[in-house]
A = this chain, B = another copy of it.
Amino acid sequence: MKEYEVVIIGGGPAGLTAGLYTSRARRTSLLIEKQLVGGLITSAGWVENFPGFPDGVAGLELGELLHKQATRYGLETIIAEVSSIELSGEQKVIATTEGEFAARTVIIASGSERSKLGIPGEEEFTGRGVSYCATCDAAFFAEQPVAVVGGGDAAVHEALDIVKYVSKAFIIHRRDKLRASRILQERAFAEPKIDIRWNTVVDEIEGTNTVKQLKLRDTVTSEKTTLEVSGVFIAVGFKPNTDFVKGLVSLDDTGQIVTNEHLETKIAGIFSAGDVRSGSGRQAITAAGEGATAAIYAERYLSG
């Protein structure tokens, strides 16, 4: 079993910044990412609010820059899924699809995943019209009408992104006003290709080989309608990635990891940072800041 001084779970801005700091502190550090280094920011398309990039930066590129920087100081990275963390005295043993690793300190920065609607047709048509990542899939729907389900920043952001490709983007929102930030709302209202359907939910996604139409319901009048679209982008929230720590650390009622102000969980030597942490700001820059903070306190734990 290979040993490190620090194991970091998750390769988004929080995990990569933690790795940058622990590597610069000359601690042997392994980062375990299950899919794509960069984390959720890689699906963000264009990022305008990460400080240091006045002209913005592609989410995918930002992820690569963070990874390159941490790697430069010695951070190792593997692609593997973590199944559990077990305590063995002061050591933490991390079981993954690529074997077991041990470390005195663990920084959990496993982020969150997009929530699903849980309606008929959603699973059936995933990858055949149903998508959770506009940046990845918008180009498949050139000059066709699509729907974006949700009313938060992510949903409006996705709608604004995909109008570059599609003929029309309907935002399907269950409430009568958006939760998105003002600047995004203003842009959405000013975009002629965006049509917002208020007080509306999707009951079913229908199609043959691919998506053909949505069954909609008005939440006020209960009126049922159909909407012909070729694609549906679902942006209705996030689910923290904490399956591998259930019963080990404390979770809040949304399933996020509870820490103290030093970002330490109730287990000495296990820290948490970024979207998976209770109270985190759900921004790349706040995640990066938390990654640095977790690394600083992990260093104190190791040298204490």
A169-190 contact mask (Cβ, 8 Å, vs B): 1 or 0: 0000000000001110010000
Known A26-B182, A182-B25; judge A51-B286 contact (CB<8 A): no
Contact of A69 among B51, B261, B281 (CB under 8 A): B51
Determine whether A144 belongs to the interface, using a CB cutoff of 8 Å to chain B: no
Determine whether A111 belongs to the interface, using a CB cutoff of 8 Å to chain B: no
B16 x A51 contact (CB < 8 A): yes
Given the complex, which residues of B lie within 8 Å of A292, measured CB to CB? 49, 281, 283, 285-286, 289
In whole Å, how far is A295's beta carbon from the nearest beta carbon of chain B? 10
Determine whether A66 belongs to the interface, using a CB cutoff of 8 Å to chain B: yes
B293 x A20 contact (CB < 8 A): no
Closest to A57 in B: B52
Determine whether A109 belongs to the interface, using a CB cutoff of 8 Å to chain B: no
Known A20-B49, A24-B181, A182-B25; judge A289-B279 contact (CB<8 A): no
A48 x B24 contact (CB < 8 A): yes
B52 x A50 contact (CB < 8 A): yes
Closest to A273 in B: B289
Contact of A186 among B26, B48, B181, B286 (CB under 8 A): B26
B51 x A17 contact (CB < 8 A): yes
Contact of A261 among B70, B279, B285 (CB under 8 A): B279
Contact of A52 among B24, B53, B186 (CB under 8 A): B53
Determine whether A54 belongs to the interface, using a CB cutoff of 8 Å to chain B: yes
B25 x A52 contact (CB < 8 A): no
Given the complex, which residues of B lie within 8 Å of A293, measured CB to CB? 281, 286
Closest to A23 in B: B183
Determine whether A13 belongs to the interface, using a CB cutoff of 8 Å to chain B: yes
Contact of A288 among B53, B69, B72, B285 (CB under 8 A): B285
A271-292 contact mask (Cβ, 8 Å, vs B): 1 or 0: 0000000010101011111111
Given the complex, which residues of B lie within 8 Å of A298, measured CB to CB? none
A183–B70 CA distance with the chains assembled, in angstroms: 14
In whole Å, how far is A10's beta carbon from the nearest beta carbon of chain B? 15
In whole Å, how far is A38's beta carbon from the nearest beta carbon of chain B? 12
Residues of A within 8 A of B (CB): 13, 16-17, 20-21, 24-26, 48-54, 57, 62, 65-66, 68-70, 72-73, 181-183, 186, 261, 279, 281, 283, 285-293, 296, 299
Q: Which 10 A-B pairs have the closest CB atoms?
A: A289-B289, A54-B69, A54-B68, A26-B182, A286-B289, A17-B51, A285-B292, A51-B66, A52-B52, A281-B293
